[in-house]
Amino acid sequence: MDTEAQQTERDRSSRPSDSEEISDTEGQEGRSRFALVSRFTEWLPGGRISLTLLVFLVLLLLLNTFVLRPFEIPSGSMESGLRIGDRVLVNKLAYRFGAEPRRGDVVVFDGTGYFGDADYIKRVVGVGGDHVVCCDKEGRIQVNGRSVDESTFLFPGDTPSTVRFDLLVPDGRLFVLGDHRSTSSDSRDHLGSPGGGMVPVDDVIGRADWIVWPAAHWTRLHRPDAYARVPAAAAEGMHG
């Protein structure tokens, strides 16, 4: 009998397999991580409860910074759809990855330097390249030659505007108005200021998508159909 061959077979059978070595390594790493967490929770006042709250706060901060942001309605300029004290969720990803604000969107933007040192919420009426006029023979705002029926969201009793204007929105800018036109300080009030009352798209924080508080006002904010028939700026001549 070949005793050397038998010894070789025994050596092979007694040697741990690669998978066993990997499993053991993963187990050691898992135990190390668990021990690290355990030591941290022992050091942290409140232990695991405090750790859970800390993780929750970090996730909430990341969510608020990059995805959603709550915004409290500070005035009646967007009534009657948005009332003072309502809280909306602002979608901060709405205009990322190549998307741009659209006519009819309700947006929150930083007005520092041209509206005031605060964040504002208004409705987009004109985007870059649009020709916006007030008003047609029936008192309606026109965008690129098309009259817009704003009756579904305009504050009851308000006219589209008592201020007359005829303007071209520069590229990369927005012309914005409040739904409660008689009380709203918006692009119309800054027509003679630097920038002409136009909001830079880069200063838009996001799109208001939901009313989340109070619970009785909970609803999703939809883009109204009023702007759906407005032609693109380059096509104005075909629809005049």
Q: What is the pLDDT of residues 157-202, one digit of tens each?
A: 999 999 999 999 999 999 999 999 999 999 999 998 888 899 999 9
pLDDT for the residue 2: 52
Active site residues: 77, 122
Assign 235 a pLDDT band (cuts: 50, 70, 90).
low
- pLDDT tops 50 at residue 119: yes
Q: What are all long-range contacts of 157-165, with beta carbons under 8 Å and residues at least 24 apart?
A: 158/182, 160/134, 160/135, 161/134, 161/135, 161/188, 163/134, 163/188, 163/191, 164/134, 164/135, 165/132, 165/133, 165/134, 165/191
Domains of the chain (ranges; CATH) run: 3-65 (no CATH), 69-230 (2.10.109.10)
